[in-house]
Amino acid sequence: MEVRSDFLIIGSGIAGLSFALKAAAIGPVSLITKKQRTDSNTNYAQGGIAAVVSPEDTFELHIRDTLEAGVGLCHRDAVELVVREGPERLQDLIRFGVEFTRRGGTLDLAREGGHSRNRIAHAHDRSGWEIERALLAQVAAHPNISVFENHLAIDLITEHHLGVPTPPPGPIHCWGAYALDVENNAVKSFLAPVTVLCTGGAGQVYLHTTNPPIATGDGVAMAYRAGAVIANMEFIQFHPTSLYNSGSPAFLISEAVRGFGAVLRTIDGEEFMQRYDPRGSLAPRDIVARAIDTELKKRGDEHVFLDLRHLAADQIRERFPHIYDMCLTKYKLDVTREMIPVVPAAHYSCGGVLTDLRGRTTIERLYACGEVAMTGVHGANRLASNSLLEAIVFSHHAFRDAAEHSGRIRSDLPSIPPWDESGTFDAEEWVLIGHDKKEIQQMMWDYVGIVRSDRKLERARLRLELISGEIEDFYKRTKVVEGLIELRNLATVARLIVHCAIARKESRGLHYTTDYPNRDDEHWLRDTIISSLNA
């Protein structure tokens, strides 16, 4: 089956939905999402959107905070773009129906780690859920948007599928994607002159993550296989405060809780963060996560505590109703009277598919927005609540650029061959999928986590090469199924993270290695670039 439209969007988070709503005004949109349309990292976001809307704040302060958090690797032009456009794009969300928390008629602004001012617009502690609710309602009501749930993208359609040698003599073009209709077990061709990757992150590559099960790095893996340039995959952000022993995905205790006044303590009650940073518990995430990791290894403890007991109970319940209710009802923990056991967990990928300021990748007609992209905003460490901001600003610029081309090049779509399953068979050895997935996740957690070393990374590299070879062989011999597609992508993304981590011979931001413990601006004040065309 073949589906044609002016715009193909892969993913249903804030980037994909906001792009779809704007693009639908000028042409038909196909939006495919691998699970239900509400499944995305956006939906899990608790904190909110950082934007300069207070008279006590300035663009310069927000830019400075972002650059400092990024430890020298932020692209200043990208940072200035998202910060200066932040207030306007925030108004876009309000016009779409997002109901942010207000006090006295004005936005209630919170503060999180690394921010010098209160600037986080939020919907209590379920900001992502509220944003998804509003955008999905607008999408459902728009006649020009077709949403295909339970459709998992397999590969981008490029010259490779037309039999053109790789790499082709000219630029690579994207004409859409093959996707598995999971419910009907059929592969469809989704064709469009403009394709937008909004597939989110890759937290499931790690054993412990705050990301939902869908976060398997599909967009980065597909783009890499197609020949796009990938950058900075070594910078994986571990959120310092996920609820200890809360399952998978781990339940997140928002950064805003520390911004509200909560402090981190060891098991015996010592407030320890002042030893690591003068900002204490409000230091940026890389510093806090590494400090917790150090304390756990030094003391042999399994978790630290986040303490809110000194704060007013009624204010905690009002500001964090979701966290309070979940902890009390599901985990039998009263956060107003008991300290919260927390540990770091994989949370966000600062690297991804390299784009320019218009969201364009190095493949013609392919855009990337949101966590799947490496725009240069986050550098070596993302400032809290800059992710949703980046997603909506860059999706806006990607739309403006794509709108100039979609109609003009629609007739240029070549004849695309249907998905070819000849020579494959239905395998019964699906136990291999679960086993390989667990091995990848455990290996990445043990060897490519918060603290790394050459020895650990090399061990991970060798084992991943072997596992990836087995998976690729299995993939080529069998019919595609959901678990196998995701496993293939996880293995690809894990190898990219390890490759970039081995390449960077210094410690910076989210990448800390015991073999090169110091920052080295002379040699490493630059992005880590990788492409399958020159790997």
pLDDT (tens digit, 9 = 90+) per residue, 302-336? 999 999 999 999 999 999 999 999 999 999 999 99
Would you state the pLDDT for residue 43? 57
Would you state the pLDDT for residue 535? 63
Would you state the pLDDT for residue 430? 62
Pair of tokens at residue 521? 């601006």
Asked whether residue 320 falls in the same domain as residue 464, the answer is: no
Asked whether residue 359 falls in the same domain as residue 221, the answer is: yes
**Is position 425 within any domain?**
no
Asked whether residue 228 falls in the same domain as residue 248, the answer is: no
* Least confident span in 125-129, 498-502, 519-523: 125-129
**Is position 107 within any domain?**
yes
What backbone torsions phi and psi does residue 72 show, to the nearest 5 degrees? Answer: 90, -10
Helix %, strand %, coil % of the chain (to 5): 40, 20, 45
Would you state the pLDDT for residue 282? 87
Would you state the pLDDT for residue 431? 67
Query: Please, are residues 191 and 8 in contact by the beta-carbon 8 Å criterion?
Result: yes
Q: Which string of b and e fits 423-451 if b means at least 16 CB within 10 Å?
A: eeeeeeeeeebeebbeebbebbbebbbbe
Asked whether residue 170 falls in the same domain as residue 37, the answer is: yes
Query: Could you tell me which of 72, 46, 50, 77 has the C-alpha nearest to residue 61?
Result: 50
- Check pLDDT > 80 for residue 287: yes
Asked whether residue 246 falls in the same domain as residue 319, the answer is: yes
**Is position 447 within any domain?**
yes
Q: What does the alpha-carbon distance between residue 176 and residue 384 come to, in Å, rounded to a whole number?
A: 33
Would you state the pLDDT for residue 177? 97
Looking up residue 250, the CATH number of its domain turns out to be 3.90.700.10
What is the Cβ-side half-sphere exposure of residue 239, based on CA atoms within 13 angstroms? 30
Q: How confident is the model at residue 418 (pLDDT cuts 50, 70, 90)?
A: confident
* Least confident span in 92-101, 160-169, 388-397, 401-410: 401-410
Residue at which a domain ends, from 359, 382, 412: 412
Sign of the four-CA dihedral 381, 385, 388, 389: negative
Mean pLDDT along residues 276-302? 90
- Check pLDDT > 60 for residue 41: no
Mean pLDDT along residues 24-37? 89
Asked whether residue 435 falls in the same domain as residue 492, the answer is: yes
Asked whether residue 102 falls in the same domain as residue 178, the answer is: yes
Asked whether residue 272 falls in the same domain as residue 146, the answer is: no
List pLDDT tens digits, range 439-469.
999 999 999 999 999 999 999 999 999 999 9
Asked whether residue 103 falls in the same domain as residue 219, the answer is: yes
Looking up residue 179, the CATH number of its domain turns out to be 3.50.50.60
Asked whether residue 170 falls in the same domain as residue 84, the answer is: yes
Asked whether residue 55 falls in the same domain as residue 139, the answer is: yes
How much of the chain exceeds pLDDT 90, in percent?
78
Residue at which a domain ends, from 313, 344, 375: 344
- Check pLDDT > 70 for residue 514: yes
**Is position 421 within any domain?**
no
Which member of 285, 365, 504, 508 is catalytic? 285
**Is position 419 within any domain?**
no
Asked whether residue 400 falls in the same domain as residue 322, the answer is: no
304 lies in which domain range? 240-344
**Is position 224 within any domain?**
yes
Q: How confident is the model at residue 408 (pLDDT cuts 50, 70, 90)?
A: low
Would you state the pLDDT for residue 78? 98
- Check pLDDT > 80 for residue 412: no
Would you state the pLDDT for residue 410? 57
**Is position 170 within any domain?**
yes
**Is position 535 within any domain?**
no
Query: Please, are residues 533 and 167 in contact by the beta-carbon 8 Å criterion?
Result: yes
Q: How confident is the model at residue 518 (pLDDT cuts 50, 70, 90)?
A: very high
- Per the structure, the count of domains in the chain is 3
Report the chain's mean pLDDT, rounded to a whole number.
Answer: 92
List pLDDT tens digits, range 465-503.
999 998 998 888 888 989 999 999 999 999 999 999 999
Q: Where are the strands (E) in 86-193, listed by range?
A: 102-103, 106-107, 109-110, 120-121, 145-148, 151-156, 176-181, 186-191
Pair of tokens at residue 483? 């678990």
Q: Is 463 a catalytic residue?
A: no
List pLDDT tens digits, range 212-228.
899 999 999 999 999 99
List pLDDT tens digits, range 354-394.
999 999 999 999 999 999 999 999 999 999 899 999 999 99
